Amino acid sequence: MPESLTAEEVHSQNDPSVAKQFDDETPKAQQFEDMYGIADNMKFSLLGTYRPGVGPVHRAMAVGRREGPDFLYVANNHSQKFKDLSENKECSITFQDSSTGNWISVTGTATTTDNSDPRIKEIYSPVIKAWFGDLGDGVHNGTYEDPRMTLIEVKAKHITYWKTTVGMLGFAKEVGLAAVTGKVAAPGVQRRMTEEEIAQERKMRRNV
């Protein structure tokens, strides 16, 4: 239900919608599991790199695989994003589910490896060939052996996400009621994972 806004909250200069929905009570293990559930339900993300003289540049990319809090992509090393990453390895990943409103924002560092990385073969599917094409020279053939085939591994450093706690009808009712009453809508929870918490999660998963 919408929550009342207090004068103290206004004068604190904090965003009331974030403050009302921020969740630091749910155990971190459950927070990570909820984030994984949202991410694994979405095939595509926006991968953002930083381009000198331009700023942040994003493009839609299918996630090849999630490994704990980190994400793997297979991409063509002839694309501009590899030049971006060669100059600045800081990057971001965003997910948005229009059917629920759930979203995830990941800030991290990217490393790239060539087609000798065995994970490329593990992730590869014939559909990927459609984005590479086949030159017919027996080399640039769009398979996992193609020298253009490159792995991008994004290791997360900071994660923020929002998870709905109501359905779409509940969301509309929550927002409408808040607008009428002057209260603050709280149809979900917002959570944050720090670099230290992510490192602990990564270590725990490797030891399982």
* CATH code at position 28: 2.30.110.10
* pTM for the model: 0.86
Residue 78 lies in a domain: yes
Tokens for 194, please give them.
């720090």
Residue 14 lies in a domain: no
Residue 31 lies in a domain: yes
Q: How many domains does the chain have?
A: 1
Q: What is the pLDDT of residues 20-66, one digit of tens each?
A: 778 989 999 999 999 999 999 999 999 999 999 999 999 999 999 99
* DSSP 3-state of 171: helix
Rounded Cα distance between 180 and 132, Å, is 53
Residue 83 CB coordination number (10 Å)? 13
Q: How high is the pLDDT of residue 205?
A: 83
Residue 12 lies in a domain: no
Specify whether the CB–CB gap between 50 and 80 falls below 8 A. Answer: no
